Copies of this chain bind each other. A is one copy, B any other.
Amino acid sequence: MLINVPETVVADALRGLAAAHPELTVDVENRVIVRRDAPVAGQVGLVSGGGSGHEPLHGGFVGPGMLSAACPGEVFTSPVPDQMLRAAAAVDSGAGVLFIVKNYTGDVLNFDMAAEMAEDEGIQVAKVLVNDDVAVTDSLYTAGRRGTGATLFVEKIAGAAAAEGMPLERVEAVARQVNENSRSFGIALSACSTPAKGSPTFDLPPGELELGIGIHGEPGRERRSMMTSGEIAEAAVEAVVEDLQPRNPVLVLVNGMGATPLLELYGFNAEVHRVLEQRGVPVARVLVGNYVTSLDMAGASLTLCQVDEELLRLYDAPVKTPGLRWGV
């Protein structure tokens, strides 16, 4: 691995982020990334965070039109409440703060504690839970569906809503609407290696793949022998579309898990589009790239987000972050 020692991986990355992005305020010691012009008067502050190892999520999505601040935890470990509290204080203009939380026990518990602490300090906090992963079917007997690729759409669209000056309840409602209209499904062709462990988190021989994976190096729901890109696209689209049953056009995120070459990802996108067309699902926008990653895992995830005119307008609105940028 291209690291110094496992213990400093997150701090090192934050120093490097600071060096590359003068438009962000990076508090390396306290692990908070804030857009430099925060708090923005009259605008709701958007705070997200989670374990590191998913970059550009979340730190790479801080900036005008998206997140106000991000809190990176250790690799695959949710951050601690102190970070979210600090972030909330930094971005609250008085219009309140929305916490965007991926649905994992750790993230939920830590953000919950932070929300209590923030409210004690007089900051108005709303929370939205992202839980888009259809691979986790039986959520009665699990920690509930995981939050994965839809996080990007929630952060982008809620970010645009906040930038338009919408009040906290509206921004929260928009974020919730995005989440409710999003579903994801992921597949892995290799496990990832965390710096602390130094070797793959699970054993996946070449020639086999895992269907229904998350973004934390955990294995999926099912192991299969290798499938073609077209077959994988069929499985992913089927899983997502059957659950979402979209009637409106969708935003498509064809997301790389980290080590899958863009060449392959674009090829996968072609197959996804072929299957969507067969199923008569109209496509509004497409995003292909490594956005919600799992360190050096090879594989991909598909996220569809059904949009109405307002969500599409907010998606198209300008965004200026290290990881996503258009219109400015």
Encode A49-67 as 1/0 by CB contact (under 8 A) with B.
Answer: 0001101100010000000
Cβ contact within 8 Å between A264 and B13: yes
Residues of B within 8 A of A3 (CB): 228-229, 264, 267
A325 within 8 A of B: yes
How far does the Cβ of A235 sit from chain B's closest Cβ, in whole Å?
12
Residue in contact with A261 in the complex, picked from B230, B288, B293, B325, CB distance below 8 Å: B293
Cα A270 to Cα B21 in complex, Å, equals 12
Cβ contact within 8 Å between A263 and B20: no
Choose, from A175-183, A242-250, A296-304, the stretch at the interface.
A296-304
A104 within 8 A of B: no
Cβ contact within 8 Å between B55 and A9: no
Cα A18 to Cα B273 in complex, Å, equals 10
Q: How many residues of A contact B (CB 8 A)?
A: 60
Cβ contact within 8 Å between A2 and B270: no
Residues of B within 8 A of A326 (CB): 325
Residues of B within 8 A of A21 (CB): 286
Cα A287 to Cα B258 in complex, Å, equals 18
Cα A195 to Cα B18 in complex, Å, equals 37
A223 within 8 A of B: no
How far does the Cβ of A5 sit from chain B's closest Cβ, in whole Å?
7
Residue in contact with A53 in the complex, picked from B12, B260, B263, B295, CB distance below 8 Å: B263
Cα A266 to Cα B298 in complex, Å, equals 20
A189 within 8 A of B: yes
- A260 and chain B: residue at smallest CB distance: B2
A204 within 8 A of B: no
How far does the Cβ of A89 sit from chain B's closest Cβ, in whole Å?
25
Residues of B within 8 A of A69 (CB): none
Cβ contact within 8 Å between B267 and A4: yes
Cα A287 to Cα B20 in complex, Å, equals 7
Cβ contact within 8 Å between A12 and B271: yes
Cβ contact within 8 Å between A259 and B296: yes
Cβ contact within 8 Å between B2 and A75: no
A221 within 8 A of B: no
Cα A270 to Cα B266 in complex, Å, equals 31
How far does the Cβ of A152 sit from chain B's closest Cβ, in whole Å?
14
Residues of B within 8 A of A260 (CB): 2, 296
Cβ contact within 8 Å between A266 and B229: no
Cβ contact within 8 Å between B12 and A261: no
> Could you say which of A9, A20, A287 has the most chain B C-beta atoms within 10 Å of its C-beta?
A20
Cα A109 to Cα B234 in complex, Å, equals 42
A151 within 8 A of B: no
Starting from the known contacts A17-B266, A20-B269, A258-B259, 17 additional A-B residue pairs (CB-CB under 8 Å) come to A1-B189, A4-B228, A8-B267, A9-B264, A9-B267, A15-B267, A16-B269, A16-B271, A19-B270, A19-B273, A20-B266, A55-B266, A260-B296, A261-B295, A261-B296, A262-B293, A296-B298
